[in-house]
Amino acid sequence: MRGLVRVELTRLRWRRAVLLLLLACLVVPVLIAAATLWDTRPVSEAEKAEIRASSTQEIARCERKPRQYGVRPARAETRCAELVVEWQTARRDLSLARERTGSGVGVAGVLVVLLMLTATTFAGHDWNSGSISNQLLFRPRRGRLWAAKAIAVTGVALVAAAVVSTAYWLTMWATMRARDLPMLDGALTDSLAQGLRGAGLAAVAALGCYALTMLLRSTVATLGVVLAFGFASLFLVEALPVSGRWEPLDNAAAVLRNGTEYYVDVPPSCYDGRYRDRPAEGSTCDETRELPGWQGASYYGAGVLLVGAASVLSFRRRDVP
C-alpha cells in the first residue's frame, strides 16, 4: 500500500494543472494577507499633516462646538484633529479577532475551492486520458488503487492547507507585534486553531470531490454537480422551509468557528406583545439556535462518507473503458 501511495504522490506532483492549483493556494492567500495589511496600515505623520491642512474648517467647527462631535471641551484642541483624521482615513488597527470573521474566512474558502479543483482535476485526468485502465493492468485490486489515490489527494490537501493557513496567521500575529498593537490572551492560539479546522474542512472537501469524480468519471460532471449544489444552497434554500441546521454555509461556519448560531422561525404569538423581555435561551420564541462544531463536521463527514461508499462500489463493479 505504501508503494501505491508513493506512486500516486509522484503522479500528483508531475501533474501540471495540479501544480498550478497548489501554487494558487499559496499566491491567493498571500494577496489576501497583503491587502489586509495594507488596509490596516498605521496612518503616517505625512498623511495626518495633509488631512489636517485640508480639513482646517472642519477642525475649527469641532473646536467651537465640541459636544456636537462627541468631544469633551477640555480635549477639543487635540481630540478634534484626531477625530477628523480618523474620519478621513477610515482605517482600523489590525486585529486577530476581527480577521477570524473576515479575511481568515476568505483564506479558508479559497483553499477549499482550489483544493476541490485539485482533487477533481487529478482524478478526472485518469478517466479522460484512459490511463486508469493501464494502472489496473499493474494493480488489479481496485479497492487498494482507489484508497491509494484518496490518501494521496487528501494528504496533500491537508498539508497544503495547514501550512498556508498557519503561515497566514503567523504573519498577522508578527505584524501586530511589529506594530506594537494590543492582543488578547489566546488570540494566536484561537486563530491557528481556526486555520487548522479550515485545513481539515479543505481536506474533506478534496476527498469528497475526488470520490465524486471517481463515481461520475468526469471532471466536467463533477464541477457541474458541485456548482448545482452551491447554487441550490445559496438560492433555493432561502425559498424553502429548511432549517439553518441543514444549510451548508452554516455548517461550514460551525466547523471554522468551532460553533455558531443560526436563525429559526418562531410562532407569530411571540410578537403579539406578551413577550416583552428577551425569550429564554432554547425556548419556543428564541430565534437563535446553537450549532456546535462537531455537528458541522458530522454534516460534511456524512456526505463524504455516502459519496465515497458509492464511489468505491461503482469503481469495483463497473467496467473500466
In a domain, 257, yes or no: no
Task: Return the sign of the alpha-carbon dihedral for residues 262, 267, 273, 279.
Answer: negative
pLDDT of res. 118: 93
Q: Number of structural domains, the chain?
A: 2
Shared domain check, 209 and 60: no
In a domain, 119, yes or no: yes
Alpha helices of the chain — where are they, by DSSP H? 2-14, 16-39, 45-54, 56-64, 76-89, 96-100, 103-129, 131-138, 142-178, 187-216, 219-231, 237-239, 248-257, 293-317
C-alpha–C-alpha distance, residues 198 and 71, integer Å:
43
Q: How many CA atoms lie within 13 A of 192 on its CB side?
A: 10
DSSP 99-133: HHTTHHHHHHHHHHHHHHHHHHHHHHHHHHHTHHH
Run of H or E residues at 260: strand 260-263
pLDDT of res. 197: 94
C-alpha–C-alpha distance, residues 79 and 89, integer Å:
15
C-alpha–C-alpha distance, residues 144 and 236, integer Å:
39
pLDDT of res. 43: 73
C-alpha–C-alpha distance, residues 172 and 38, integer Å:
12
Run of H or E residues at 291: strand 288-291
Shared domain check, 117 and 22: yes
Shared domain check, 28 and 55: no
In a domain, 245, yes or no: no
C-alpha–C-alpha distance, residues 21 and 118, integer Å:
6
Shared domain check, 204 and 62: no
Shared domain check, 307 and 174: yes
What are the CA-CA distances from residue 112 to residues 61, 95, 177, 232 (Å)?
A: 51, 24, 29, 18
Residue that is last in its domain, among 24, 54, 89: 89
Give the domain extent around 59: 45-89
Q: Please tell me the pTM assigned to this model.
A: 0.81
Residue type for 143, please?
G
Shared domain check, 165 and 52: no
Q: How many CA atoms lie within 13 A of 101 on its CB side?
A: 5
In the block, cell 476568505 appears at 106
Shared domain check, 103 and 78: no
Shared domain check, 64 and 103: no
The b-or-e profile of 86-110 (16+ CB within 10 A means b, else e) is eebeeeeebbbeebbeebbbebbeb
In a domain, 285, yes or no: no
pLDDT of res. 22: 93
Whether 164 and 26 have beta carbons less than 8 Å apart is answered as yes
> What cell does 293 get?
462544531
Residue that is last in its domain, among 55, 70, 89: 89
> Closest Cα to residue 296, out of 258, 260, 255, 256?
255
In a domain, 289, yes or no: no
In a domain, 282, yes or no: no
In a domain, 136, yes or no: yes
Shared domain check, 211 and 139: yes
Whether 226 and 117 have beta carbons less than 8 Å apart is answered as no
Q: What is the pLDDT along the chain (321 residues), one digit of tens a residue?
A: 666 777 777 878 888 888 999 999 999 999 999 999 998 888 777 777 777 777 888 888 888 888 877 778 877 777 788 777 777 776 777 889 889 988 999 999 999 999 999 999 988 877 777 676 666 656 667 777 888 889 999 999 999 999 999 999 999 999 999 988 888 888 899 999 999 999 999 999 999 999 999 888 888 888 898 888 887 777 766 666 666 677 888 888 888 888 887 777 666 666 665 555 555 555 666 677 788 888 889 989 999 999 999 988 887 777 666
C-alpha–C-alpha distance, residues 203 and 200, integer Å:
5
Whether 279 and 286 have beta carbons less than 8 Å apart is answered as yes
Shared domain check, 215 and 77: no
Shared domain check, 214 and 69: no
Shared domain check, 157 and 110: yes
In a domain, 146, yes or no: yes
> What cell does 174 get?
508578527
